[in-house]
């Protein structure tokens, strides 16, 4: 029997439409421009942990975009001012109760702001969509990691992190990187301990900087100016104080390419147009990407992403 009906109820789809309307109104009232960028592009992210979906168009390789980030940064460099994107993004090999290869992403950028200002705006946005105030906690990565493991994520030896990762997972981590061990322990030990409501965590380890700038924290430790936001223990958003140095960006791209080669993954060439935009001058800015489907799951009390999407084909 062919199952043709929607995976979400019509009532849920009406609530989803209302939430998208609320998001657009939120940014319109604050003078943030909505931008419509391509979902099919010549370049893709080089991140080891993200696999993009390839397509062939007129004999040329293209990629369904895993994020509108690179296009949005080109707009920022061209003088767009504050912007947001609300639309589809795609990632390969991501399926499950909280994942779907095609999903809805909200991403926005603010010039001249810091991470704390952006986290505050994100919290206000979520409260606006929820229609009620929420408990909001601001924490550092070090604080939550030490509370659950007693280990300092910035100073503990990699061998000790490998031991802990093996202990909590039952797998061998002796050849794993520091970043991989931290990721594993954070997801299995720290995330389940997070309280209900919104929890904003900043000051990630330098080895997990991705596209974020590095800076020293209050303790003099070099950390990534990166944050993640969780709602009721579920990862909701990921934000950065954006990297603007084209040489540093090129270096990180090349490091990613080497990691992908070592892991036997498809080679992804760095986005030359993004690098050219950075060379032209990307203004100081912060940006954040939020999973809209996950937000709706939490606000509507659903435990499966399909329950807040019209179809999962």
pLDDT tier at 93 (50, 70, 90 boundaries)? confident
For 15, 128, 129, 234, the CA distances from 299, given in Å and listed in that order, are 10, 11, 9, 12
155 found inside a domain: no
CATH number for the domain spanning 27: value is 3.30.930.10
- Domain holding 254, by residue range, is 10-135+195-308
Asked if pLDDT for residue 287 goes beyond 70, the answer is: yes
What pLDDT is attached to residue 49?
87
Q: Is position 151 within any domain?
A: no
What is the arithmetic mean of pLDDT over 207-234? 95
> Residue 164 domain-assigned?
no
Let me know if residue 219 belongs to a domain. yes
Statement: residue 127 has pLDDT above 90: yes
185 found inside a domain: no
Q: How confident is the model at residue 96 (pLDDT cuts 50, 70, 90)?
A: confident
Each residue of 10-55: pLDDT tens digit? 999 999 999 999 999 999 999 999 999 999 999 999 998 899 999 9
Give the confidence band of 94 by pLDDT, cuts at 50, 70, 90: low
**Is pLDDT of 144 > 70?**
yes
pLDDT at 97 over 90: no
Question: What average pLDDT does this structure show over 127-133?
Answer: 97
Total number of domains constituting the chain = 1
pLDDT digits (tens, 9 = 90+) for 58-79: 999 999 999 999 999 999 999 9
Query: pTM value?
Result: 0.95
Pull the structure tokens for residue 126. Answer: 């979520």
Confidence of residue 313 (pLDDT cuts 50, 70, 90): confident
3 three-state secondary structure? coil
Distance CA 257, CA 176 (A): 18
């Amino acid at each position: 029997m062919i199952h043709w009906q929607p995976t979400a109820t019509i009532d849920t789809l009406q609530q989803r439409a209302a939430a998208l309307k609320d998001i657009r109104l939120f940014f319109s009232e604050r003078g943030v421009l909505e931008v419509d960028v391509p979902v099919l592009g010549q370049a893709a992210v080089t991140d080891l942990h993200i696999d993009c979906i390839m397509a062939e168009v007129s004999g040329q390789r293209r990629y369904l975009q895993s994020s509108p980030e690179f296009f949005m940064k080109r707009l920022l460099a061209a003088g767009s001012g504050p912007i947001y994107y609300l639309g589809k993004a795609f990632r390969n090999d991501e399926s499950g109760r909280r994942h779907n290869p095609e999903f809805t992403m909200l991403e926005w950028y603010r010039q001249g702001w810091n991470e704390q200002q952006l986290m505050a705006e994100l919290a206000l946005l979520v409260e606006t969509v929820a229609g009620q105030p929420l408990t909001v906690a601001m924490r550092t990565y070090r604080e939550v990691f030490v509370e659950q493991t007693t280990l300092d994520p910035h100073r503990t030896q990699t061998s000790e992190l490998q031991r802990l990762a093996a202990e909590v997972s039952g797998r061998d981590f002796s050849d794993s990187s520091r970043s991989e061990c931290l990721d594993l322990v954070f997801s299995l030990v720290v995330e389940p301990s997070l309280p209900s409501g919104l929890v904003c965590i900043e000051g990630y380890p330098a080895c997990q900087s991705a596209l974020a700038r590095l800076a020293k924290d209050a303790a003099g430790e070099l950390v990534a100016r990166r944050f993640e936001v969780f709602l009721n223990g579920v990862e909701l958003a990921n934000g950065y104080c954006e990297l603007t140095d084209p040489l540093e960006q090129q270096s990180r791209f090349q490091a990613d390419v080497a990691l992908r080669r070592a892991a036997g993954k498809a080679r992804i060439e760095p986005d030359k147009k993004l690098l050219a935009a950075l060379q032209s001058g990307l203004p100081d800015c912060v940006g954040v990407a939020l999973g809209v489907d996950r937000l709706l799951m939490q606000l509507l009390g659903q435990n499966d992403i399909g329950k807040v999407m019209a179809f999962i084909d």
